[in-house]
Amino acid sequence: DQQVKQNSPSLSVQEGRISILNCDYTNSMFDYFLWYKKYPAEGPTFLISISSIKDKNEDGRFTVFLNKSAKHLSLHIVPSQPGDSAVYFCAAIYTGRRALTFGSGTRLQVQP
Amino acid sequence: DTGVSQDPRHKITKRGQNVTFRCDPISEHNRLYWYRQTLGQGPEFLTYFQNEAQLEKSRLLSDRFSAERPKGSFSTLEIQRTEQGDSAMYLCASSFSQMMNTEAFFGQGTRLTVV
């Protein structure tokens, strides 16, 4: 039972344009959501997070949107840069449990 | 302290052999996690320590797997009688429990290949 789903395995965008990565979840208990970025041969690196009491969190070029009613979150990267090319994982957690539940990832390729 | 450190980075072993991996977390972090990642999948939770206490284990952690965190510092993950299905990237992460919902910081992982 996949509680966190990233239905797009890959995404390709042009440098300077917006990248939108999507994530859906099924467990209503999740109350905190995170995005991690992973380069080859490295561990995941934390990017940005959002609490379920918010619907938007912004950090520089990265913005995460949360739609609780739809159980959907998205990561926007504006403008996209070639260095953003990596695999992006959506993860979720709920109070009382300490383990993250990850999606399967979306490979983003930003073309120069 | 530059981050979470894992050793070795790569391990090739024959089926049936035992292997042990080490993780050194960020020094002030009291929580330590082990995850496993296979190709095309996200990391899957294996087990979690708060200080030296192992507080949660996933169903993925069969009885061939054992993890320890003596003295609440570094941790080891041992796999006995390895099988080809154990081939994966084993990731360690750490976090600080005094803040709610802080992100976990991951090491670079140990890639295990069972031949």
Mean pLDDT over B89-95 rounds to 95
Min Cα distance B39 → chain A (Å) is 9
Pairwise CA distance, residues A4 & A1, whole Å: 9
Interface residue of A98, A102, A107 to substitute, partner B, most B CBs within 10 Å: A98
> What mean pLDDT comes out for the span A15-44?
95
Share of chain B above pLDDT 70, in %: 95
B91:A43 CB<8 A? yes
- Average pLDDT of the residues in A71-97: 95
C-beta of residue A58 within 8 angstroms of C-beta of residue A35: no
* Model confidence band, residue A86 (pLDDT cutoffs 50, 70, 90): very high
- Quick one: pLDDT at residue A32? 92
Residue A21 has pLDDT above 80, yes or no: yes
Distance, first Cα to last Cα, chain B: 35
* B28: pLDDT strictly greater than 90: no
Is A67 in CB contact (< 8 Å) with chain B?
A: no
Select from B58, B103, B109 the Cβ nearest to the Cβ of A49: B103
Judge whether A32 is closer than 8 Å to chain B, CB to CB. yes
**Token digits for B20?**
């042990």
Q: What is the dihedral of CA B39, B26, B34, B54, to 10 degrees?
A: 180
pLDDT confidence tier of residue B97, bands split at 50, 70 and 90: confident
Q: Chains A and B: how many Cβ contacts under 8 Å?
A: 63
Q: What is the pLDDT of residues A67-82, one digit of tens each?
A: 999 999 999 999 999 9
Alpha-carbon distance A73 to A34, whole Å? 10
Using alpha carbons only, how large is chain B's radius of gyration in Å?
13
Residue B39 C-alpha from the chain's centroid: 17
What is the three-state SS of chain A? CCCEECCCCEEEEECCCCEEEEEEECCCCCCEEEEEEECCCCCCEEEEEEECCCCEEEECCEEEEEECCCCEEEEEECCCCHHHCEEEEEEEECCCCCCCEECCCEEEEEEC
- Residue A46: predicted pLDDT: 93
* Closest partner CB to B31 (pick from A43, A45, A98): A98
Q: What is the pLDDT of residue B1?
A: 53
